[in-house]
Amino acid sequence: MCGIAGTYRWPDGKAVADRLTDTLAHRGPDGSGRYGRSVGDGEVHLGHRRLAIVDLSDTGAQPMASDGLVLTYNGELYNAPELRAELAAAGTRFRGTSDTEVLLEAWRRWGTDCLPRLRGMFAFGVFDERTGELVLVRDQLGIKPLFLMRRGEGLVFASELKALAAVTGGTPEVDHAALVASLLYYWVPDSRCALRGAEKLPPGSWLRLRPDGRTERGRFWDLREVAAEGRDRARAGEVPDLAAVVEESTRRHLLSDVPVATFLSGGLDSSWLTALAARHRPGIAAYTIGFRAEDARFEAMPDDLRYARQVARRFGVDLREIEIAPDVLDLLPRMTYHLDEPIGDPAAINTFLICSAAREAGVKVMLSGMGADELFAGYRKHLANLLAVRYRRVPGPVRRGVSAAVDRLPVASARRGYRSVRFAKRFLSFADLPEETAFRRSYTMYDRGELLGLIDPDLAGTVDDVLAEHADVYRDNDLDDFVNRMCLGDARMFLPGLNLAYTDRSSMAASTEVRVPYVDVEVVRAAFAVPGDRKIVGRQGKAALKEAATSILPREIVYRPKGLFSAPLRAWMSRDLAPLVREVVNDGELVRSGFLRRDALRRLVEQDAAGHQDYSKHLWHVLTLEHWYRGLVSGAGAGHGPSPTA
């Protein structure tokens, strides 16, 4: 895991590439490298910051140049041993043991045809000195980031947006649609970028730049095709062995020349990975989090620690517990800086603090259970949307009566929150809606009317564009399985846009690599070969995965109530962050710019404070958006530019 950057036919390319690379120092504190060469009437410059994981010697240093090819690469290849053996059998001679060299030689032998053969997480740029071509590539599922910006025939790229914004000159402008999408989702979809002119290379794709100015794009992996193939496999009666697939993926993800540990929440996904990892690496360390007792009680959070301790005892895991009682006023601006774009999920703080603690203990690599919920229908929204189909059959007068009764219930008192009431209000906010709209509303922050009431009215057309994009992505398949349609939508939007994005940026802020064994091409193929009625059985989400996990985990862990890798937002909002909320609502940059409406924000604060509605997540995201924008305006964050409504 590293930071990569470069320029291609860009003015003052060497100096720009050097600044890009320096900005990424936290991603690779173990070493740095530079490469430059003339190409056509310009130059190419590649930079690299190294976090040494496999082959710690200089033979793994980058940019790696060999016989006319130069590679700057961020990631890990979990099938590198097999590829190495195949290449060696064909006559390739290797200098070291790094997967970087395997990737370089695979490219030399097969070119872009090597890409579907790669199993791992990666973003890289490879330059061919003979042709003068630069090719940029991003992994199948968007685990690793790759930002780029083009001007004329020139291009800059980097692992983080802040690097691009800091060196491209001029005043980067906010992309209005990305900010509107951020308010809707509390994250920026992978198809958009917070700064106008910048973009993210799509997952499973490549971009080729030629010295004559021509470009070519290609796709080597498509989730829609994988999902359709999975449907056909299920229809043919194929039943994937999930236990074997997940164990094999976990074993591969342990490949490392440095210590590896796991996240352990005590829930199914992290517990299964930890148990499997302990089978292959006895005594492996695991990190878990807890919260101040008063915060957890106010949030009505489940006691995850006791389950994590149970797993650790059973499998001989070295459990390290971290109490999350952060100075959120200090962490908020730091996290918004590192997250690059406005991302309002407080789980990013948890990830950063866990990775920081692990790094201090000498751990460079962590395994995470990320992705299992998206692929195997483990979120409450998946079950809730299925229940909503049945709920819509209830007579209208009865539904209206239920809605009115639940609306009168408080979500919190002065001392504690009422989780079941929050869930009920959330369910009723989308239960009557059509399929795609209901699915979107089940995990987004606002409906169309609420969003329009919150922002500059001139952005109404932008709101409609953002909503239409969700509908287009959700419907862009021919699956006849409602549950797998939701899983495909999550794998294409929710997973790369939020969970993989904050995981990469938060962990790399602590110079730590996080690997995600469930977000593996073979696990994904198996996931979509599981019919929806095996993923959700009765009221049991992730049923097929749970059944497979019983091969190693006790049923108490497998079938425990779902926990939350989140934070006690209501407690933070009512205590630590209350003065900041008032400041942002009354005199924040986004309010003064006209992007957000002061009266609408005040209503959110009042209803949340009264305990009538739970708007803690909404207000937390407003704070993250405000701090991101302040950094933008001041030049301390991702750049600086005009107001979002300019």
Tens of pLDDT, residues 401-431: 888 888 888 876 666 667 788 788 888 889 9
Phi-psi bin for 75: left (phi > 0), alpha (psi -120 to 50), beta? left
Q: What is the pLDDT of residue 641?
A: 35
Domains and CATH numbers, the chain: 2-221 (3.60.20.10), 224-377+482-558 (3.40.50.620), 568-646 (no CATH)
Q: Are strands 205-209 and 285-291 parallel, antiparallel or unpaired?
A: unpaired
- The pLDDT of residue 643: 34
d(CA 289, CA 218): 42
Residue 167 pLDDT level (bands cut at 50, 70, 90)? confident
Instruction: Quote the pLDDT of residue 644.
Output: 37
Report the chain's mean pLDDT, rounded to a whole number.
Answer: 91
For residue range 334-360, list pLDDT tens digits in order.
Answer: 899 999 999 999 889 889 989 999 999
Residue 437 pLDDT > 80: yes
Are the beta carbons of 179 and 195 closer than 8 angstroms? no
pLDDT-based confidence at residue 562 (cuts at 50, 70, 90): confident
Residue 298 reports pLDDT greater than 60:
no
CA 146, 152, 153 angle in degrees (round to 5)? Answer: 70
The CA-based diameter of the chain, rounded to the nearest angstrom, is 75
Give the closest residue to 345 by CA, choosing from 584, 565, 595, 26. 565
- Length of the chain as a residue count: 646
Ranges 248-257, 437-446, 571-580: which has the least confidence: 571-580
In this predicted structure, what is the pLDDT of residue 221? 98
Omega before residue 63 within 30° of 0, cis: yes
Active site residue 2: yes
* The pLDDT of residue 86 is above 80: yes
The secondary structure element, H or E, covering residue 73 is strand 69-77
C-alpha–C-alpha distance, residues 571 and 611, integer Å: 12
Are 535 and 375 within 8 A, CB to CB? no
What does the DSSP 8-state code read for residue 396?
Answer: H
Segment 596-608 shows an average pLDDT of 93
Residue 512 has pLDDT above 70, yes or no: yes
pLDDT, position 328: 78
- Burial state string for 226-242 with b = 16 or more CB within 10 A and e = fewer than 16: bbbebbebbeeeeebeb
Q: Which residues are annotated as a binding site for L-glutamine?
A: 99
Residue 639 pLDDT class (50, 70, 90 cuts): very low
* Closest of 569, 568, 501, 565 to residue 270, by C-alpha: 565
Positions at the binding site: 99, 289, 368-369
Cα 502 versus chain centre, distance: 5
pLDDT greater than 60 at residue 289: yes
Are 182 and 463 in contact by the 8 Å Cβ rule? The answer is no
Would you list which residues are annotated within the binding site for ATP?
289, 368-369
* pLDDT reported for residue 565: 58
pLDDT band for position 522 (50/70/90)?
very high
**pLDDT digit string, tens, across residues 104-143:** 999 999 999 999 999 999 999 999 999 999 999 999 999 9
266: left (phi over 0), alpha (psi -120 to 50) or beta: left
- What is the tens place of the pLDDT at every residue in 233-264? 999 999 999 999 999 999 999 999 999 999 99
pTM: 0.93
Catalytic residue among 2, 114, 355, 487: 2
Residues 382, 540, 226, 140, CA torsion sign: positive
Pick left, alpha or beta for residue 381 (phi over 0 → left; psi -120 to 50 → alpha; otherwise beta): alpha
